[in-house]
Amino acid sequence: MKKLKIALFCSTGDVIPPKANIVNAPRWLVYYLANGLTEKGHDVTLFAVPGSHSKAKLVAKKIIDWPKNKYVAKLQRENAPGERSRRFVINDQTCLLDIFLEKNNFDLVHANSELVLPLAALTPNLPTLITYHSPYDIHYNELFQYYKKRFPQIFINSLSKAHANQAPSVPFDFVIHNGIDSSNFTFNEKPKDYLLFSGRINANKGGDIAVSIARKTNKPLNILGQKFYSSKKTIKFWDTKIQPYLNNKIKYCGFVPYVKTKKYYQGAKALLFPNRWKEAFGLVLIEAMACGTPVVATSFGAVPEVVKNGVTGYVVKNEKEMIKATKKIYSMPKEKYLEMRHACRKHVEENFTIEKMIDNYEKAYYQMVKKFKK
In this structure, the number of other CB atoms found within 10 A of the CB of residue 109 comes to 28
The DSSP line for 122-155 is T-TTS-EEEE--S---HHHHHHHHHHHHH-TTEE
**pLDDT of res. 79:** 74
Q: Are 193 and 333 found together in one domain? A: yes
291 backbone dihedrals φ, ψ, rounded to 5°: -85, -5
User: Tens digit of pLDDT for each residue in 18-71?
Assistant: 886 677 889 999 999 999 999 999 999 999 999 999 999 999 998 989 888 888
Q: Are 142 and 23 found together in one domain? A: yes
Q: Are 62 and 78 found together in one domain? A: yes
Q: Are 93 and 194 found together in one domain? A: no
Residue 302 confidence (pLDDT) above 60: yes
CA dist 22 and 28 (Å) reads: 11
User: Tens digit of pLDDT for each residue in 277-293?
Assistant: 888 999 999 999 999 99
**pLDDT of res. 227:** 82
Q: Are 324 and 217 found together in one domain? A: yes
**pLDDT of res. 270:** 98
CA dist 49 and 244 (Å) reads: 41
- The answer for 52, left when phi > 0, alpha when psi is -120 to 50, beta otherwise, is beta
Q: Are 200 and 84 found together in one domain? A: no
C-alpha triplet 195, 199, 200: angle, nearest 5°: 135
**pLDDT of res. 219:** 98
**pLDDT of res. 229:** 65
Helical (H) or strand (E) element with 76: helix 70-77
Q: Are 228 and 151 found together in one domain? A: no
**pLDDT of res. 104:** 81
Query: Which percentage of the chain shows pLDDT scores above 90?
Result: 82
**pLDDT of res. 266:** 97
Residues in the chain: 374
Helical (H) or strand (E) element with 266: helix 262-267
What average pLDDT is seen over the chain? 94
Helices 319-331 & 207-217 angle (0-180, nearest 10) = 50
Q: Are 87 and 140 found together in one domain? A: yes
Which pTM does this prediction carry? 0.93
User: Tens digit of pLDDT for each residue in 78-137?
Assistant: 777 788 888 899 999 999 999 998 778 999 999 999 999 999 999 999 999 999 999 999
Q: Are 302 and 357 found together in one domain? A: no
Confidence of residue 350 (pLDDT cuts 50, 70, 90): very high
The 3-state DSSP class for residue 271 equals strand
Q: Are 247 and 167 found together in one domain? A: no
In this structure, the number of other CB atoms found within 10 A of the CB of residue 358 comes to 21
Q: Are 266 and 198 in contact (CB under 8 A)?
A: no
**pLDDT of res. 19:** 82
CATH assignment at residue 289? 3.40.50.2000
Q: Are 313 and 268 found together in one domain? A: yes
Q: Are 62 and 195 found together in one domain? A: no
User: Tens digit of pLDDT for each residue in 144-201?
Assistant: 999 999 999 999 999 999 999 999 999 999 999 999 999 999 999 999 999 999 998 9
Q: Which domain holds residue 135?
A: 5-179+353-372
Confidence of residue 230 (pLDDT cuts 50, 70, 90): low
Q: Is 250 exposed, middle or buried (0-12, 13-18, 19+ CB in 10 A)?
A: buried
Tally of structural domains, the chain: 2
Residue 214 confidence (pLDDT) above 80: yes
Helical (H) or strand (E) element with 84: helix 81-100
